[in-house]
Amino acid sequence: MEAFQLLSRGGAKFDKRRFQKDVQLFSKAPGKTQTPSKANLADGELPKELDYFKYAAGGSGKRKTEGGGPDVVKKRKVSEEEDEPDSASEDLEENEAEDAPQRPRQRIVAKGSNVPAHADSFTELAERYQMSSLLLSNLDRYGYIYPTGIQSYGIPILLESRDLAAISPTGTGKTLSYLLPVMASLGAPSSSSNSDAGAGVRAIVVAPTRELAHQIHNECLKLAEGRKWRIVLFSKASAATLAEKATRDKVDIIITTPLRLVASLRSGSLELDNVRHLILDEADRMLDSEFFPQVEEILAACTHPSIQKAVFSATLPAGAEKMAMQMLQDPIRVVVGLKDTPLPLISQSLTYVADDPSKLPSLLTYFAQPYNPPVLIFTSSQPRATSLAQELILNGVSNVDCLHAGMTKKEREDAVSRMRRGESWVMVSTEVMARGMDFKGIREVINYDFPTSVQSYVHRIGRTGRAGREGKAVTYFTDDDAPFLKAIANVLLQSGSTVPEWILKLPKPSKLKRKQMGKVKRAETVNPARRIGRNDAIKKRDMIAGSKRRIARETRPIPLSETTGEVSS
DNA sequence: AAAAAAC
């Protein structure tokens, strides 16, 4: 591992010309620059639904501290010039009024009892809820100009102490949607004269990976600047410190992964009886079968009668949503855009690679041509991530990094910071990077291994195209991936990308399976050996059906493209 | 449907 990091450190220097296209895009900002300012916030004439332009201004604005300020302007320009009434924008506008909008608009639906009015600006929020001027100036300092859709709807709901299930696409500012109201309603740090604060931790944010918890912690620290909040990124070390009561009582917010918190609960070193705010980020992940038992334990430990709970995600399958609604009290459900759908800003494509051995050559061909770094590559397992990274390095690809949960804490941290500094051109990773991570300006996501669910797909490709930027996502698929191909293809379609017609003609796997069960005798579907030598049609159908009982390896894999005629009938 | 991730 070390050797390969060394290898990856060497090689060509960062080539600025690679970015020239952007630099030009950014700097040739036209007359209508209109630097976002407070004056804009005051005009109060904003539409009820926040459009992408507005969203982009708010979201990419925060990048001005990290680099490339003018992109706020750039995005605005792009949005204004675009008048592509393509299927994606139409989808998103299905509930929109009659005025034919030139820009795609987000559809925002808030359901629940007595839904608080949304707020169109941060100043409006501050006035309505007496938010501290410090929070407001920190927003300003970090370039948050306009609230995004989810912020504009979600923040008032949380500030009015309501429970919330928030569904909003990747990269649309969900983190701020809960951090801001939590900090605003905590009022002041516990250590100061805050009479009704009580003793012990007052707010908890739970996230599925260390990297994401770390990132949320950083965001939280930004908002807290200038005041002595005690915001703790929960780790082994901080857990040990928090075991002392004197320390524990002064903590305001803990940001943690579930098992870390549960470990402290079990050891009796931490009590959550004063927790007033509990946030589950990546809620569907937190409620899946692996994490849910831990989340249950956390929920059970939060015994304060007036606890506020909220869940956030870009995806929330029906089952997870049901569970979420059960744990929430009189919740309000906010959906921005279409559930389980990527932003149309991400141009997606599917690439057929016949089988696993064909993937590496395809990827190397890709890297042999000019490409836009940084690129994030997803594999299905830790060993595959490691070996793919090594292969890329051996084949001369520059600045390759790897990140998966099998690496040490330090290795992971180092990989993330190289990514943050823009030193990684190519990051090979696993599902651990799929959710929540906000690396600035990832230009392209490559699904080297096919994602195992629509949710995984949506989150993975959501690492690009964040905060109003454009992004590109390529997904490799093999014959083995056929059973799940159509579901993903539909996601592409729904978000405005195009899909080869033959893929759309694929029947639903389950349906086909049933059909096949009717035709093929039971014994044959049970015994894979019996199928060898059968005619191609059956083999093909087997592949499409994705039966676990695969045809023996010696059978030549049949490219899916050759099979469409038959299976689509 | 299944791996990854959480300590």
Which pLDDT belongs to residue A546?
A: 33
Which pLDDT belongs to residue A23?
A: 25
The answer on A481 and A366 residing in a single domain is yes
* Statement: the CB of A260 is under 7 Å from strand B: yes
What confidence tens digit (pLDDT) does each residue in A299-329 have?
A: 999 999 999 999 999 999 999 999 999 999 9
Which pLDDT belongs to residue A65?
A: 30
Which pLDDT belongs to residue A475?
A: 96
The answer on A521 and A409 residing in a single domain is no
The answer on A391 and A315 residing in a single domain is no
- Domain edge (last residue) among A336, A356, A373: A336
How many residues does the structure list for chain A? 569
The answer on A307 and A193 residing in a single domain is yes
* A100 in a structural domain: no
Q: How confident is the model at residue A174 (pLDDT cuts 50, 70, 90)?
A: very high
* More reliable by pLDDT, A354 or A245: A354
The answer on A301 and A380 residing in a single domain is no
What confidence tens digit (pLDDT) does each residue in A408-428 have?
A: 999 999 999 999 999 999 999
* Statement: the CB of A406 is under 7 Å from strand B: yes
The answer on A187 and A158 residing in a single domain is yes
CA closest to C1' of B4 belongs to A431
The answer on A530 and A413 residing in a single domain is no
Which pLDDT belongs to residue A91?
A: 34
pLDDT of A27 > 80? The answer is: no
* Sheet strands side by side (includes A444-447): A346-352, A471-477, A444-447, A375-378, A426-429, A400-403
Which pLDDT belongs to residue A196?
A: 60
* A1 in a structural domain: no
The answer on A450 and A400 residing in a single domain is yes
Average pLDDT on A481-504 reads: 89
A411 CA → B3 C1’, Å: 21
* Statement: the CB of A8 is under 7 Å from strand B: no
Q: How confident is the model at residue A245 (pLDDT cuts 50, 70, 90)?
A: confident
Q: Hey, is A445 helix, strand or coil?
A: strand
* Statement: the CB of A424 is under 7 Å from strand B: no
Q: Which domain covers residue A52, as residue numbers? A: 13-92
What confidence tens digit (pLDDT) does each residue in A60-101 have?
A: 333 333 333 222 222 222 232 222 233 333 333 333 333 333
Nearest nucleotide (CA of A256 to C1'): B6
Which pLDDT belongs to residue A199?
A: 81
* A5 in a structural domain: no
The answer on A513 and A484 residing in a single domain is no
* A2 in a structural domain: no
CA A211, CA A208: separation in Å to the nearest integer? 9
Which pLDDT belongs to residue A508?
A: 67
The answer on A257 and A117 residing in a single domain is yes
Other C-beta atoms lying within 10 Å of the C-beta of residue A21: 10
- Domain edge (last residue) among A482, A504, A526: A504
Q: Closest Cα to residue A172, out of A443, A496, A469, A421?
A: A469
- Domain edge (last residue) among A475, A504, A533: A504
Which pLDDT belongs to residue A509?
A: 61
* Statement: the CB of A372 is under 7 Å from strand B: no
Which pLDDT belongs to residue A79?
A: 30
* A7 in a structural domain: no
Q: How confident is the model at residue A483 (pLDDT cuts 50, 70, 90)?
A: confident
* Statement: the CB of A453 is under 7 Å from strand B: yes
**Which phi-psi region, left, alpha or beta, contains residue A55 (left: φ > 0; alpha: ψ -120 to 50)?**
alpha
CATH code of A196's domain: 3.40.50.300
* A72 in a structural domain: yes
Question: What positions of strand B are covered by protein, i.e. any atom < 7 Å from a CB?
Answer: 1-7
The answer on A539 and A446 residing in a single domain is no
* Statement: the CB of A250 is under 7 Å from strand B: no
pLDDT of A402 > 90? The answer is: yes
Average pLDDT on A152-162 reads: 97
* A474 in a structural domain: yes
Q: Which two tokens stand for residue A252?
A: 């305001």
* A300 in a structural domain: yes
Q: Which residues contact A508 (CB under 8 A, 6 or more apart)?
A: A486
* Statement: the CB of A431 is under 7 Å from strand B: yes
Which pLDDT belongs to residue A172?
A: 93
Average pLDDT, chain A: 75
Question: CA torsion, points A373, A378, A379, A381, in degrees to nearest 10?
Answer: 120
Which pLDDT belongs to residue A376?
A: 97
Q: How confident is the model at residue A250 (pLDDT cuts 50, 70, 90)?
A: confident
First-to-last C-alpha distance (Å) of chain A? 50
The structural domain count of chain A equals: 4
The answer on A488 and A513 residing in a single domain is no
Q: Which two tokens stand for residue A414?
A: 């180092």
